[in-house]
Chains A and B, each alone.
Chain A
Amino acid sequence: MSEPLPSYQLDVDDRAHLVVGAAVTESLQYVLRERLALTNVKDGCAVGECGACAVLLDGQQRLACLTLAISASGRAVTTAAGLGHGRPTEIAEALARVGAVQCGACIPGALIATHALLAADPDPSDGAIRAGLSGVVCRCGGYGRLVAGVRAAARARNGVLGG
C-alpha cells in the first residue's frame, strides 16, 4: 500500500479545495467526483473512451480520468458546472432547448467539448462540430440533437457578439 500524498490544493470552479490523504495514482475524475463531491464530473468508463469526465485544465479540454489529480494542483480546473460561474451557459440552454438532454450522462462532457470548440472556432461547420464533439459518446444516441444544439449555441453566441 503506498503512502498517501501530503495534502494538496485543487482550485476548481473558482473555489480552493484541500485534498487530504489521497494516493498519488488517483485520477482527477476520482478526486473531483468522489473526494470533492463534484458529481457533474461523470464516471463513464475511467479509461478515456467516452468523454463524460471532460473538464478544462487552465482552459484546455482534458479527460479527468486520464489526468493525475496531483498534476492539476496549482492549475485552474473548470468543471461543466463551473463554466457559467454559477449560471447556466448559452450552450447549456441551447442543448436543453433542442432536446439534446435525455439521460444527461454525456452532457457535462458535451458542454466542455462545445465550450472548447466554440472558443477556437466560433462559427463551426457541421463537420467541425462533429469533429469537436468526436470524443462525446451519448448512450441515448442523441447525436443529431447534440449537433443541432451546438449549432444553436453558436448562433446564439454570435448573435450576442454581433448585436
Chain B
Amino acid sequence: MPLAIEAPLGVAEAVGLLAAEPDRVIVAGGTDLLPALHDGRVRAERLLSLERLREIHAVGRTGEGGLFIGAGVSATVLVEVLEPLLPALAAAAAVIGPPGVRNAATVGGNLVSAAGGDLLVVLVAVGAVAVLESAAGRRETTVEQFLSAVDDTGRPDLRPGELVAGVRIDRMPADARFARLAVPGHRVLSLAMARDAHHPEIRVAVCAGRRVPVRAAAAEAVIGAELRRVGRNIEPEVLIAFGRAVGEAAGTADSVPVQYARHAADVCAQRLLARMVGDE
C-alpha cells in the first residue's frame, strides 16, 4: 500500500514518484499547502515532501560565474547567505513575512504559488531562469515566462509531473535594488531594478495591482536610451518620464485604488533609480 507521505532523498526518485502517482501533492515548508488544506482549496490524500531532497537546498555559484538557488532554500537562508552575493534578493526575503514564516517559506513555493511579489520581482529583474525537473528530464524557462502564464490561466507554467528544482541567475547584475510598499492590510507595490554588468541597460520589474510581476518595458527603453546618451548623469525630465512609465505598468487587481498604486510605483521607481545611479 502506498505511504501517505513520501520524502525522497533525490530528485530522480521524486519525479519518478510524481510520474507514477500524479495525485501526490507536493509539500515543502508547508506555508502554502497548510492554509490551502484548511480552507478546503486543496484536498490531498497522499503527499510528496521535498524536505530531504539533496539537490534543492543549496545556494552556490555556477561554473560560469552565475548563481544557483535551490527551490528548497528558505527565506531565512536567503537573508543570511545572499547579502554579499545579491543583496536585493536578501532584502526581499527579509520582508516576505515574520521570522517563523521566513524559516519555512521557500523559493520554489513562492514560484509555484505565484503569490506575493517580493522575491519574484527581484528574480524577474535579474533575468533568473527557473529549472524544472520531471521524469521527462530537465526543462528551463525564464521566471518571467514561468509566471506570465498566470495572466492567461491563473496558474504559472508548471506542467504535470514537474517540480521546481531551483532558479539560476546566469549573469549577475552589476547592481540590483528592491523596494516595496505596504500599508496595513494591503500590499501596494513590489519593485526591483537590475543594472546589467556589461551593457548600458536597467531591467525593471514591478508588481502593483497585479498578481505577478511584469517588466516595465517602456520604462526600460527610457532609461536605456538615457544611459547610452549620458552614462550616469540622468536628466531630471528623464527620471520623471521613467517614473511615469513604471507607474503605467501597474494594474488594477488589488484592493488599493489604481491611481494610488500608479503614483506609488512612479515615486518609488524614481527614488530607487536615483539611488542606484547616485551611489556609484
A and B contact pairs by CB, cutoff 8 A, 29 listed: A2-B4, A5-B4, A5-B5, A24-B5, A24-B44, A24-B45, A24-B46, A24-B47, A25-B44, A46-B35, A47-B38, A48-B31, A48-B35, A60-B103, A61-B103, A62-B103, A62-B104, A65-B38, A66-B30, A67-B30, A68-B47, A70-B5, A71-B27, A71-B30, A112-B100, A113-B99, A116-B99, A135-B97, A135-B98
Judge whether A3 is part of the interface by a CB distance below 8 angstroms.
yes
Q: Which residues of A contact B99 (CB under 8 A)?
A: 61, 113, 116-117, 132, 134-135
B172 nearest CB across to chain A (Å): 28
B-facing residues in A16-36 (Cβ within 8 Å): 23-25, 27
| Given A48-B31, A68-B34, A71-B49, also A62-B5 (CB < 8 A) | no
0/1 per residue, B99-131, Cβ < 8 Å to A?
111011000000000000000000000000000
| Given A67-B30, A68-B30, also A47-B100 (CB < 8 A) | no
User: Which 8 pairs from chain A and chain B are nearest by CB?
Assistant: A135-B98, A24-B4, A2-B45, A47-B35, A134-B98, A63-B100, A61-B100, A66-B34
- The answer on a CB contact under 8 Å between B4 and A3 is yes
Which of B38, B97, B103 lies in contact with A46, CB distance below 8 A?
B38
| Given A2-B45, A68-B30, A71-B51, also A62-B100 (CB < 8 A) | yes
Q: A116: nearest residue on chain B (CB-CB)?
A: B99
Known: A61-B100, A68-B5. 20 other contacts (CB 8 A): A2-B45, A5-B5, A24-B4, A24-B5, A48-B34, A51-B98, A51-B100, A62-B104, A63-B100, A63-B104, A66-B35, A66-B100, A66-B101, A67-B30, A68-B27, A68-B33, A70-B5, A134-B99, A135-B98, A135-B100
Give the total of A residues in contact with B, Cβ under 8 Å.
30
Judge whether A54 is part of the interface by a CB distance below 8 angstroms.
yes
Most buried by B among A27, A63, A135: A63
**How far apart are the CA atoms of A67 and B49 in the complex, in Å?**
12
B116 nearest CB across to chain A (Å): 13
- The answer on a CB contact under 8 Å between B104 and A66 is yes
Q: Which residues of A contact B98 (CB under 8 A)?
A: 51, 113, 134-136
- The answer on a CB contact under 8 Å between B46 and A67 is no
Most buried by B among A24, A25, A46: A25
**How far apart are the CA atoms of A27 and B1 in the complex, in Å?**
23
**How far apart are the CA atoms of A112 and B30 in the complex, in Å?**
19
Q: Which residues of B contact A25 (CB under 8 A)?
A: 37, 44, 47
0/1 per residue, A37-57, Cβ < 8 Å to B?
000000000111001001000
Q: B39: nearest residue on chain A (CB-CB)?
A: A47
Q: Which residues of B contact A46 (CB under 8 A)?
A: 35, 38
**How far apart are the CA atoms of A116 and B76 in the complex, in Å?**
13
**How far apart are the CA atoms of A25 and B37 in the complex, in Å?**
8
**How far apart are the CA atoms of A89 and B95 in the complex, in Å?**
30
A-facing residues in B3-46 (Cβ within 8 Å): 4-5, 27, 29-31, 33-35, 37-39, 44-46
Q: Which residues of B contact A60 (CB under 8 A)?
A: 103
Q: Which residues of B contact A70 (CB under 8 A)?
A: 5
Q: Which residues of B contact A65 (CB under 8 A)?
A: 34, 38
Q: Which residues of B contact A136 (CB under 8 A)?
A: 98
Q: Which residues of B contact A134 (CB under 8 A)?
A: 98-99
Q: Which residues of A contact B34 (CB under 8 A)?
A: 27, 47-48, 65-68
Q: Which residues of A contact B101 (CB under 8 A)?
A: 48, 63, 66, 135
Q: Which residues of A contact B45 (CB under 8 A)?
A: 2-3, 24
Q: Which residues of B contact A135 (CB under 8 A)?
A: 97-101
0/1 per residue, A120-162, Cβ < 8 Å to B?
0000000000001011100000000000000000000000000
B105 nearest CB across to chain A (Å): 9
B147 nearest CB across to chain A (Å): 23
**How far apart are the CA atoms of A113 and B102 in the complex, in Å?**
13
A91 nearest CB across to chain B (Å): 16
Q: Which residues of B contact A117 (CB under 8 A)?
A: 99
**How far apart are the CA atoms of A2 and B4 in the complex, in Å?**
8
